[in-house]
Structure 1
Amino acid sequence: MKEILFCVLIMLVCKAYALLPKTYEARFVSITTNGTQMPLDVSQIRFLGRERMANGTFELKEDLDESFSIFGETFIDSMGDGEYKQLLFTAPKQSICKAFEAYWPYFEPSVKFGVNTDFPVHTHPCPLPKGKYYLKDVVLKADNWPVIMPRGFLKAVATGFKNDEYVGSLEIVSKISDLS
């Protein structure tokens, strides 16, 4: 009986905590790809203005189907000195389609089809279709992110595989700071 009450108490505390307002904001810093076989080109994306809005084009050089998989890791540099420490937030190795479906809700407030991109995010496509797509004035909105986030430079690294062979990685750096 004590275990059940304890579990209920933990669930209630977690739900109440999730209702707390966010005390941070996130802004883009950079986006890069590594690897000669990476089927994604982000070299034409720039970050503009005080809000660090993503603008430009990205290209998927081939359809990303179930033969593609990714593994995700996150790192934090709280001091801004380039010394990143790995965080516990990871995404297990899974197909690109499953990963897109699972993690898209974190970015859905930021990227809208027909508003600031022509990539068909609204249909959750699988495979992700080959092509060149635009981004216009995309601002990171942390609406669906965890209530508590470490402050500093947050680096997310998605390592890509095709048929279980390494093809490259995508690295996105954002800055998490207290609301001003």
Structure 2
Amino acid sequence: MYTRWLKVSLLLFTVFVCPGQSKLEVRLDSVKNIAGEEETLALFKFRLLGKERLLNGTLTLLVDIDDNYEGAVEVYFFTNGEWVLTHIKRKKPGDFVANYLRKYYFPPNADTNLPYGGENCLKKGEYYFKKIAVPFDNWPMNVSRGLIRTDVSIRSLEGKKVGGYELNCIVTDKKS
């Protein structure tokens, strides 16, 4: 389940670009952990390392993330002085991780114990992420340039956040 959720987050970020050699330069600017609305069941402890801005940290699940939860992604583009929201369809966690997070954020060789997705449940426990370099070369070319904020959360079926993270990046065209 969690896998699907993570994939949805990544899919949102990449939905606007077709695959291919990237002419984009993307810099991860900041990452912030988001607490749950009533209770926090998914504890994201991420940070960015060094000038390469590598993603590092852990995800601790206090319960099994199963069909009672969904992965949700909201992408905000900073346009004309305001944040403009784009929603991505909510997905079951296994689908989210497999089709979004693993595809766009965590390459197959990433140092993580996060399952590849497809499972109906992301088991209670701790998942690590070590020095992950987000692969921007498969992001769509028509993604907006400028500041982008992605809020990735796990939600109950009632829509209440039980944990998540906010990832901010700056997208520009590569200099020749």
1:106 maps to 104
Offset, 1:24? 0.9
Q: Give me the TM-score of the superposition, normalised by structure 2.
A: 0.72
8 Å contact from structure 1 (residues 66, 97) kept in 2? no
4+ runs deviating over 4 angstroms: 17-20
Q: Does the residue aligned with 1:153 lie in a helix, a strand or coil?
A: strand
Say whether residues 1:176 and 2:174 are aligned partners.
no
Offset, 1:66? 0.9
> How high is the sequence identity, in percent, across the aligned residues?
23
TM alignment of 1:154-165, pairs within 5 A: 154-165=148-159
Q: Give me the TM-score of the superposition, normalised by structure 1.
A: 0.71
Offset, 1:138? 0.6
Tell me which amino acid in the other structure corresponds to 2:55: A
Distance 1:139 1:108 in 2: 8
Distance 1:134 1:142 in 2: 21
8 Å contact from structure 1 (residues 74, 154) kept in 2? yes
Offset, 1:178? 2.6
TM alignment of 1:60-99, pairs within 5 A: 60-77=61-78, 83-87=82-86, 90-99=87-96
RMSD of the TM alignment (CA)? 2.7
8 Å contact from structure 2 (residues 69, 155) kept in 1? yes
Offset, 1:148? 1.9
Ranges in structure 2 where 5+ consecutive residues have no aligned partner: 1-16
Distance 1:163 1:65 in 2: 11
Number of residue pairs the alignment of both structures matches: 155
Structure 1's 46 and 69: CA in aligned 2 closer, same or farther, altered over 3 A? same
Distance 2:40 2:75 in 1: 20
Largest Rg, 1 or 2: 1
